[in-house]
Structure 1
Amino acid sequence: MNFNLQELIKTFGYFGIWGIVFAESGLLFGFFLPGDSLLFAAGIVAAGPNSLNIWTLIFGCFVCAVAGDNVGYASGHRWGRRLFNKEDSWLFKKEYLEKTEKFYEKHGQKAVVLARFTPILRTFAPIVAGVAAMKYKTFMFYNLIGGFLWTVGLTLLGYYLGKMIPPEKVDQYLLPIVGGIIVLSFVPSIIHIIQERRANK
């Protein structure tokens, strides 16, 4: 069976991509979704002929990223500390929420922006902002900045790279590039874990 990521993204279409971006930004089960690599790959695919329109793609991703964060914030604000008392399951681990809270305490309001570029934290940062009763206007301001930088930056980066790759060779390069993005996106988390362990020794 030949796995064709380019065709898979085209099959997902705008609503499939937007739905994944929304889920990863604001729903608890969305933490495992590949937001960074999806945006980048969708940008590469949009650079090809007869494909997704880059500006429609970006606009929808931006709106869904911001809307998803708002859902996460509302969840945290409404249910608050009860989330920290929730038992671990295969879908939810309290550890992720606690790590995001520490990240939030260290980086303050910037965490809403910085977490956009870190898997797992991206999903839990708006929830923690709601739990901490961060002012909604302040949250929304940083949410718009983070959502813009994340969706526009990664998608356009993929798009312009896609313009440099001959259409007939996109499939050859797409999977390795996406794999590299996935690995790189976890580097900040790995560094943070190493530093945390050293500090606890």
Structure 2
Amino acid sequence: MQLPTDRRGWVKLAAVAVAAIAAFMLIKRALPDFDAQDVLEDISGKLGAWTYAIVAVLAFLETGAFVGLVAPGETFVVLAGAVAGQGETSVVLTIGIVWFAAFMGDTVSYVLGEKLGRDFILEHGHRVRITRERFAQVERYFDSHGGKTILIGRFIGLVRALAPFIAGSSGMRYRAMAPYSILGTGLWATAFVLLGYFASKNIDAVLSNSEHVLLAFAIIVGLIVGAIVAVRFLREPENRDKVERWMQQRRGFRSILALGKSVSPQARFLAQRVTPGDLGLELTSALAALAVGSYLFIALGMLVHDQPGATVTDQALIDFCARITTDWLTSLSKVVTALGTTPAVLVATLAAAVWLGLRRHWLELVVLLVGAALILIGTPIAKEIVDRPRPDGALVDAGGPSYPSGHASHSIIYVWIALMISVRAKVGLTRGTAIVVAGIALAAAIGLSRVYLRVHYLSDVTGGWAFGVTVYALLAAVAVLVSYFRQDGQRVD
């Protein structure tokens, strides 16, 4: 949403809003027998599975080719959600496709900004309605807000289309930009797909109570505009002083003012966590991993619960493993898969816990142990909930449901241990990177060994990895917050 900056702009906005409402009411009176539900069902039936491809392309081009400056991408994303609401497509899969495509669009835009620079876009940007004024406006926003421009700007048309390009042209590191993009595109995709999904489920009720809907919409817009105007007003120190003096003079507002001052340090901390800086990037990265991990775990669980057979990808990998099966590879896979058993990960966890304890890294020690416990306890519970049968033709004995793979979820413990060693052992960037890569490679080998041995589908293994990542990402985010507030308390003392 981009608010006008002068009185003329506000008048235009109000006129457009009034015209839109008037047009809607006239159409409703002129066509009383118009059935929006039938129209939506007809559109959904014609689009069908093509919706996935179309919405992916448009979500990618939104930032990847600056199309968002010409045609806002939310329109078809909402329509894609509506198609899912009619049962023609999967709402969970639609969210994932939009999310991934939008993130890739941000990535391409970033690379273009890094390679071409701002001079290129200023010279050729007029072809996609990028003027110097519009580009400068987003640059100022980026300079003021840094990383959160990528996150919050995803919901502001002009900023969304240009922010990744400016991040690249300004020299911002990709690994610093990516977590904000993952969170922003995930929230954007989820919000607008679900908006279309739930609206299509209740379209008749919405249209039959249009007056109430318009009133509610007007109230919501009014609150949003009021909040933005208030933020702009309070941004100036003298305005904040005026408001504070006014509240101090009125007994009923003194307690509110005192409460606001008491929570302002915490609120300031949360706001700073989505701005550049080491701690902000740590928390944002953890939240990005949490978002991706939890989505994959839940989405795959829903998919295989409804359709427990092999997916297309599952079957393709099973067929490939059948073609490469040899005695020596089977023996090797049995050794690798043993590293994902409960006894093996318990030994590794206890050894790492002792190492962390001797070095007095208590917070990391707690995260390691709690994470391992949650994975070991949570995986069997998830298996019972989804209750997916295992593949046929297993090369080793395995019992119980298939999703998620316990070995795969256990393997993430090795990744976390590797990450802790690389950070706390002070081994240097090169060795630290090698240790983390080794941990990831071990987790990948353990998971894929389960597919080779025909005891899990690839989707089971992916779900197991996702569950492990979700657990440790959540605990990492909590640890960052605890560490900050603990250090803040020590500074106060």
Normalised TM-score (structure 2): 0.32
Q: Return the match for 1:121 from 150, 159, 163.
A: 159
Match in the other structure for 1:42 = 80
Task: Tell me, in whole angstroms, the C-alpha distance in 2 between the residues paired with 1:26 and 1:88.
Answer: 13
Kept after mapping to 2: 8 A contact 1:20/1:33 = no
**Root-mean-square deviation (CA), in Å?**
3.2
- Paired residue for 2:71? 33
- Residue equivalent to 2:326: none
Q: Which digits, 9 at most, give the CA deviation of each residue in 1:117-173, with x for residues without a partner?
A: 01122110100111111111110010100011000122123212322335xx89999
Q: 2:136 aligns with which of 85, 92, 98?
A: 98
CA 161–102 in structure 1, closer or farther in 2 if over 3 Å, else same: same
Q: Contact 2:112–2:168 at 8 Å: present in 1 too? A: yes
Q: Give the superposition deviation at 1:79.
A: 0.9
Question: What is the aligned partner in structure 1 of residue 170 from structure 2?
Answer: 132
Structure 2 matches for 1:77-88, cutoff 5 A?
77-83=114-120, 85-86=122-123
Kindly indicate whether the alpha-carbon contact (under 8 Å) linking 1:18 and 1:60 is maintained by their aligned counterparts in 2. yes
Counterpart of 1:198 in structure 2 is none
TM-superposed deviation, 1:63: 0.6
Amino acid at match of 1:79: L
Match of 1:160 in 2: 198
Deviation at 1:37, TM superposition (A): 2.5
- Rate the CA distance shift 1:154–1:164 in 2: closer, same or farther, 3 A: same
- Work out the CA distance in 1 between the residues paired with 2:76 and 2:196: 10
Match of 2:105 in 1: 68
State which structure, 1 or 2, has the greater radius of gyration over its C-alpha atoms: 2
Identity level (%): 27
CA positional deviation for 1:107: 1.5
Residue type matched to 2:62 in 1?
E
Q: Any gaps of 5 or more consecutive residues in structure 2?
A: 1-33, 233-493
CA contact (8 A) 1:46 1:52 kept: yes
Partner residue of 2:90?
53
SS at match of 1:86: helix
Q: Give the 3 Å change call, closer, same or farther, for CA 88–158 of structure 1 in structure 2.
A: closer
Letter in 1 for 2:109: G
Alpha-carbon shift at residue 38 of structure 1 (Å): 2.1
Change (3 A) 1:29 1:161: closer
Segment of structure 1 superposing worse, 92-101 or 60-69: 92-101
Q: 1 CA distance for matches of 2:113 and 2:41? A: 36
Give structure 1 stretches of 5+ with no counterpart: 196-201
- The 2-side partners of 1:88 and 1:147 are apart by 24
* 2:145 alignment partner in structure 1: 107
CA distance 1:97–1:37, shift in 2 (3 Å): same
Aligned residues: 179
State how far apart, in whole Å, the 2-side matches of 1:8 and 1:80 are. Answer: 42
Instruction: Write the deviation string for residues 45-87 of structure 1: whole angstroms up to 9, x where unpaired.
Output: 21113x1211221111111000000000001111113235415
Tell me, yes or no, if structure 1 residue 22 matches structure 2 residue 60: yes
The one-letter code of the counterpart of 2:151 is V
